Structure 1
Amino acid sequence: MKTTNPLLKHHVLSALLAMPILLGSTLVYADEAPAEPAVAAAPAEPASPHSVTFNLGLYSQYMFRGVALSDGPALQGGIDYAHSSGFYAGTWWSNIDKNFTGHGDGFSGGNKLETDWYAGYAKTFENGLGINVMGNYYYYPDRENSFSAGDVGRKQDSFEASIGLSYSYFTYTYYRVLTDYYGAAKDGTKDGKRDTDGAEYHELKMNYNLPIGGLKLMTKVGYQHTPNLTGSQGDFAIGLNRDFSLPSAGKPIEGFNAGAYYTDTFDVKNEAFYVTSDGRDTNQETVWFYVKRTW
Structure 2
Amino acid sequence: MRKPATLALSLLLTCPIALGQIIQRDLGDFDLKLGTSPSRSMAQGLVKPASSDSLHGGLDLSHDSGWYFGQWSPSMGLNPASPLEVDAYLGFKRPFDQTLGYELGIIHYNYPQRRTQDSQEFYGGLSLLGSRFGAAFSNDPTMRNSTLFADLSGNSPFDIGISVKYTAYQLTNAVAVANGNEVAGFNDWSIKFSRPWRGIDLKLIYSDSSLRGSNCSAYAGHNPQCDGLLTFKAERTFY
Which residue identity lines up with residue 271 of structure 1 in the other structure? C
Structure 2 residue 127 is the aligned partner of structure 1 residue 166: yes
1:272 partner SS = helix
2:163 and 2:93 map into 1 onto residues whose CA distance is 21
Structure 1, gaps ≥5 residues long: 1-46, 59-63, 96-109, 144-152, 185-195, 209-215, 242-257
Q: 1:222 aligns with which of 165, 169, 175?
A: 165
1:264 and 1:112 map into 2 onto residues whose CA distance is 33
CA positional deviation for 1:126: 3.2
Question: In angstroms, what is the RMSD of aligned CA positions?
Answer: 4.5
Which residue identity lines up with residue 208 of structure 2 in the other structure? F
Structure 2 residue 151 is the aligned partner of structure 1 residue 205: yes
Higher strand share: 2
Residues 137-182 of structure 1 deviation map (CA, whole Å, 9 limit, x = unaligned): 1223441xxxxxxxxx6x25310111111112211111112x3xx2
Q: Which residue in the other structure is 1:236 paired with?
A: 191
TM-score of the two chains, using structure 2 as the length reference: 0.55
Residues 191-221 of structure 1 deviation map (CA, whole Å, 9 limit, x = unaligned): xxxxx54x2111112455xxxxxxx976421
CA positional deviation for 1:51: 0.5
CA positional deviation for 1:271: 2.4
Question: Is 1:57–1:290's contact at 8 Å kept on the other side of the alignment?
Answer: no
Question: Is 2:99–2:130's contact at 8 Å kept on the other side of the alignment?
Answer: no
Higher relative contact order (CA 8 A, sep 6+): 1
2:90 and 2:28 map into 1 onto residues whose CA distance is 20
1:290 and 1:82 map into 2 onto residues whose CA distance is 31
Which residue identity lines up with residue 191 of structure 2 in the other structure? F
1:91 and 1:54 map into 2 onto residues whose CA distance is 10
Question: Is 1:262–1:288's contact at 8 Å kept on the other side of the alignment?
Answer: no
1:76 and 1:219 map into 2 onto residues whose CA distance is 31
The structure with the largest alpha-carbon Rg is: 1
2:185 partner SS = coil
2:99 and 2:70 map into 1 onto residues whose CA distance is 25
Question: Is 2:100–2:126's contact at 8 Å kept on the other side of the alignment?
Answer: yes
Question: Is 1:91–1:118's contact at 8 Å kept on the other side of the alignment?
Answer: yes
TM-score of the two chains, using structure 1 as the length reference: 0.46
Q: Which residue in the other structure is 2:31 paired with?
A: 51
Structure 2 residue 217 is the aligned partner of structure 1 residue 266: no
2:108 and 2:236 map into 1 onto residues whose CA distance is 25
1:122/1:223 Cα in 2 relative to 1: closer, same or farther (>3 Å)? same
2:236 and 2:82 map into 1 onto residues whose CA distance is 23
1:271 partner SS = helix
Which residue identity lines up with residue 100 of structure 2 in the other structure? L
Question: Is 1:240–1:259's contact at 8 Å kept on the other side of the alignment?
Answer: yes
Q: Which residue in the other structure is 1:91 paired with?
A: 71
Give the fraction of aligned pairs with identical amino acids, expressed as a percent: 20
1:117/1:285 Cα in 2 relative to 1: closer, same or farther (>3 Å)? farther
1:163 and 1:223 map into 2 onto residues whose CA distance is 15
Question: Is 2:54–2:82's contact at 8 Å kept on the other side of the alignment?
Answer: no
Question: Is 1:233–1:265's contact at 8 Å kept on the other side of the alignment?
Answer: yes
Alignment of 1:184-203 (within 5 A): 184=142, 196-197=143-144, 199-203=145-149
1:76 and 1:207 map into 2 onto residues whose CA distance is 32
Question: Is 2:149–2:163's contact at 8 Å kept on the other side of the alignment?
Answer: yes
1:73/1:271 Cα in 2 relative to 1: closer, same or farther (>3 Å)? farther
Q: Which residue in the other structure is 1:187 paired with?
A: none
1:126 partner SS = coil
